[in-house]
Structure 1
């Protein structure tokens, strides 16, 4: 069965956002091109790691290729503080993700796969072109290609969304709920 690919080349919008109150939020990576929108659920930690990896990849590209024009910070005009497109209809819950670079278009490539499905092996003859063993192909995936400025703005917003959750306890560093918080017992005692 062919893979259902939610593909966005040069999307109008790509953001991390949440639905729900701090402590019970659901995180989404959402991409939109025209009237077509795709929303995939992911964990808070996946959102944080994706932002970190995007910045790391862009920093490495800046350091090794001075012909690329990569901003060191998110361009102000690309900041997106708007809520997610409504209604949020989850295409799938993300299990694994891959981040890549397309030198032909100078775009960052984000791939996301549903829980329980592995991405095609890069060393596999099939890769993303559909050739190879049909059983190894995922049933569904999100594929987003974004320019470097948009990637910086995406990472900045993702960090802000992750940090906008529950306040952390100054003593133990764990999140505090609205109705109170008890620090875990000290193992050294």
Structure 2
């Protein structure tokens, strides 16, 4: 029987980082009362999650007859700029994530499975995981999550205007400049 870290809905659900740009570790963190669960993941996973979540919310806004209020932007009262809750204890490293909409409860549902969970079984289409992070949240909190996550993603190293690779403070070898070292801003 897997351990399910369920938040329905969370008091707080955010993306955050630990470390310096270029060496950051990304986390999803959910909190309900005093219970906090932190899951490590890759920067690219955060970017894809934000993209898909924004797409899902935008599609919901376009559904004819949809009674659910889906904000176009993050509601001001749900914006969260606080640091990650401490102590920061990694429950597991995220692998597969599943995103859906529960039309009855009118909630976004996010399931995060560990890296070692494997692929869905062809017969059951379910994951074999020891742990799962399950977050069910309203559309406003989902928009606020996307807004904060975008800020976290943009707070890293700047991209080279020529090759779009991250530029360290000491510069980088730009493939578009035939190997000449370009300096950071």
Query: Structures share a fold, TM > 0.5?
Result: yes
Residue 135 of structure 2 corresponds to: 144
Do residues 84 (structure 1) and 84 (structure 2) align? yes
| 1:31 Cα deviation from its structure 2 partner | 0.1
Do residues 43 (structure 1) and 34 (structure 2) align? no
**TM-score with structure 2 length normalisation?**
0.89
Residue 101 of structure 2 corresponds to: 101
Q: What value does the CA root-mean-square deviation take over the aligned residues? A: 1.8
Residue 124 of structure 2 corresponds to: 124
Aligned to 1:163, which of 147, 150, 154?
A: 154
Q: Deviations over 1:99-155 (max 9, x none)?
A: 011112111011001112136569728x5xxxxxxxx63111100001000000001
| 1:186 Cα deviation from its structure 2 partner | 6.3
| 1:10 Cα deviation from its structure 2 partner | 1.1
Residue 175 of structure 2 aligns to a residue whose secondary structure is: coil
Unaligned runs of 5+ in 2: 179-185
Task: Note closer, same or farther for the CA distance 1:71–1:184 as it changes in structure 2 (3 Å cut).
Answer: same
Unaligned runs of 5+ in 1: 128-135
| 1:16 Cα deviation from its structure 2 partner | 0.4
For residues 115 and 6 of structure 1, what CA distance do their matches in structure 2 show? 16
- The count of aligned residue pairs is 177
Residue 36 of structure 2 aligns to a residue whose secondary structure is: strand
